[in-house]
Amino acid sequence: MSSKVPPVILNNGVEMPQLGFGVWQVPDAEAERAVATALEAGYRSVDTAAVYENETGTGRALAASGLPREELFVTTKLWNSDQGYDATMRAFDASLARLGLDRVDLYLIHWPVPALGKAVDTYRAFEKIHAEGRATSIGVSNFLPEHLERLIEATSIIPAVNQIELHPRLQQREAREFHAQQGIATEAWSPLGQGKGLLEVPAIVAIAQKHGRTPAQVVLRWHVQLGNVVIPKSVTPSRIVENIDVYGFELDTEDLAAISALNENHRLGPDPAGFNVT
């Protein structure tokens, strides 16, 4: 099936599908099956990471799909223990080998890890990898505006993307505004709030009923209308299909206001300021 997902245009002119498929916590063999199902359903963007230990299965599914490389958008991430210039160069080679690719579309620093103090050196390696044509776009994940400011001051390429935790209970208004000012695309991880309770919130259920859609589709549609890139995860084929089918309806201002009111600044994951695990 061809893709039904419109792109966002990154700050380097590259098109990135606004909706992609995430594979966090999916074991390698299952990731291969899930990515194959997602590609069949029309997803063309896949979000993995070295630390997910499923780059191999992801790469196998991409190869088996027979889809032309230029139709695919592959993101992977550098794990914290590989930060630093030389370690990054080695870790990137290893990720490419596992994926079975000679380039990725987007390479992200997974976490800023402020206590390490290696983000700038790491990003210089990213700039080198980009200059070699092996990462078409480079960016970061879990960077707070203060981390981005320091990085932008010390390096030459403004990150194309910052992938951050973002869902109706953690709407990240200040970060989104900062990214917009800098020309950085905001990519939402855990866009469905990991499914935990968010999809049963009465306001969301009511909007879903009003549009004849599911709560997951309402939340994903909210992201799309906000301009976020989203990467929902599921290993259930019917949900994989459901989660990409968000382009045939529109939330109105009343719906958007009701979702806007759900913000609690509630994180499911760690606070990047103090997350120094390597």
Q: How far is the CB of 139 from ligand NAD (least distance, A)?
A: 11
Nearest residue to ligand NAD on Cβ basis: 22
Q: Which is nearer to ligand NAD, 51 or 86 (CB)?
A: 51
Which one of 17-25, 90-98, 174-182, 246-254 is the stretch in contact with ligand NAD (CB under 6 A)? 17-25
Strand positions, DSSP E, 1-62: 7-9, 15-17, 21-22, 45-47
Contact between 122 and 116 under an 8 Å Cβ cutoff? The reply is: no
Q: Per CB under 6 A, does 199 bind ligand NAD?
A: yes
Enter the DSSP assignment of 107.
E
SS3 state of residue 233: coil
Enter the DSSP assignment of 104.
E
Runs of H (alpha helix) within 135-275 = 145-154, 173-182, 202-211, 215-226, 237-244, 253-260
Binding mask 49-88 for ligand NAD (x = CB under 6 A): ----------------------------------------
- Catalytic, out of 52, 85, 107, 247: 52
With CB under 6 A, what is the number of residues at the site for ligand NAD? 26
Q: Per CB under 6 A, does 152 bind ligand NAD?
A: no
SS3 state of residue 168: coil
β-pair partners for 8: 16
Q: Which is nearer to ligand NAD, 92 or 189 (CB)?
A: 189
| From candidates 192, 251, 258, 262, binder to ligand NAD by CB under 6 A | 192
Q: What are the Cα distances from residue 116, in Å, to 112, 119, 142?
A: 8, 8, 15
Distance CA 129, CA 114 (A): 23
Residue where the block lists tokens 């084929």: 237
Q: Per CB under 6 A, does 163 bind ligand NAD?
A: yes
| From candidates 22, 114, 139, 168, binder to ligand NAD by CB under 6 A | 22
Distance CA 109, CA 188 (A): 15
Which one of 10-18, 128-136, 191-199, 204-212 is the stretch in contact with ligand NAD (CB under 6 A)? 191-199
Supply 250's token pair: 């529109």
SS3 state of residue 204: helix
Which one of 92-100, 115-123, 184-192, 254-262 is the stretch in contact with ligand NAD (CB under 6 A)? 184-192
Which one of 56-64, 146-154, 190-198, 251-259 is the stretch in contact with ligand NAD (CB under 6 A)? 190-198
Binding site for ligand NAD (CB under 6 A): 22-24, 47, 110, 141-142, 163, 189-195, 199, 214, 216, 231-234, 239, 242-243, 269
The residues carrying an active-site annotation are: 52
